């Protein structure tokens, strides 16, 4: 059995890769260089794919920064910092990248059909405070219909399943799952900023740090502002 795994190098997608392996699939990872501010995550994706022993790892390059629309692709837009979980949950943030998961899943479905894979794994999460529209169950249901109608496999009754093992899990539950699966957290990357050390103040860093702290665990990543977040 074959599975394509969308691998950003982050905490969620790395857990999904290890879950796909545990589910018995031969894994083919695909990552995306879309000129994101945090391209550092690609180093983590490569390291995770290597350690997980994937069959093949593709890195697809295209430029979403040329039309902007997101703080992750437009360097002139400021990243949200030091926001509370309540603030994060109020609106879809400026870190949302227009159409990103639709683009990613389109590549993933194409890759899957080309290698005759049964499914595409993606680490979307509907409970994350970011509330991105392309991480929700109704969106995945719609994309599953696209897979059934827009692929040869789908039309011939052998549709490519979109698998979302984390969609209803809290971040703490994802970390607990990753611990059971043996995910090497020290190789992952979650920070939205473009530095070599995680900033510790962007939404993604804060969500990650909060989850590790709630579990009473030490996040193995280095953080520029780690001690401030811990209240030291």
What's the mean pLDDT in 82-87? 85
> Class of 2-229 per CATH?
alpha beta
Instruction: Tell me the range of 24-33, 120-129, 194-203 where mean pLDDT is highest.
Output: 24-33
Q: Percent of the chain at pLDDT above 90? A: 88
Summarised one tens digit per residue, pLDDT across range 137-163 is 999 999 999 999 999 999 999 999 999
Summarised one tens digit per residue, pLDDT across range 95-123 is 999 999 999 999 999 999 999 999 999 99
DSSP for the chain?
-EEEEE--SSHHHHHHHHHHHHTTPEEEEEEEES--TTTTHHHHHHHHHHHHT-SEEEEEE--STTT--STTT-TTSPPPBS--HHHHTTS--TTPPTTHHHHHHHHHHHHHHHTT-SEEE----SSSTT--GGGSHHHHHHHHHHHHHHSHHHHTT-PPEEE-TTTT--HHHHHHHHHHHT--GGG-----S-SSSB-S-BHHHHHHHHHHHHTT----S-BTTHHHHTT-
Every domain of the chain and the residues it spans: 2-229
């Amino acid at each position: 059995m074959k599975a394509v795994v969308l691998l950003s190098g982050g905490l969620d997608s790395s857990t999904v890769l290890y879950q796909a392996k545990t589910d018995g699939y031969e894994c083919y990872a695909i990552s995306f260089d879309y000129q994101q501010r945090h391209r550092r995550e690609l180093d983590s994706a490569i390291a995770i794919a290597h350690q997980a022993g994937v069959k093949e790892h593709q890195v697809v390059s295209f430029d979403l920064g040329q039309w902007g629309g997101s703080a992750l692709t437009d360097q002139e837009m400021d990243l949200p910092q030091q926001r509370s979980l309540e603030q994060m949950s109020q609106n879809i943030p400026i870190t949302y990248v227009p159409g990103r998961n639709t683009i990613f899943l389109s590549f993933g479905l194409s890759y899957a059909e080309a290698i005759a894979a049964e499914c595409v794994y993606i680490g979307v999460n509907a409970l994350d405070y970011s509330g991105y529209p392309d991480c929700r169950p109704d969106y995945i249901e719609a994309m599953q219909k696209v897979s059934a109608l827009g692929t040869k496999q789908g039309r011939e009754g052998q549709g490519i399943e979109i698998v979302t093992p984390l969609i209803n899990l809290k971040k703490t539950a994802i970390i607990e799952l990753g611990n059971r699966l043996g995910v090497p957290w020290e190789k992952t990357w979650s920070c939205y900023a473009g530095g070599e050390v995680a900033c510790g103040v962007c939404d993604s860093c804060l969500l990650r740090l909060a989850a590790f702290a709630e579990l009473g665990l030490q996040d193995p990543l280095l953080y520029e502002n780690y001690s401030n977040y811990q209240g030291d």
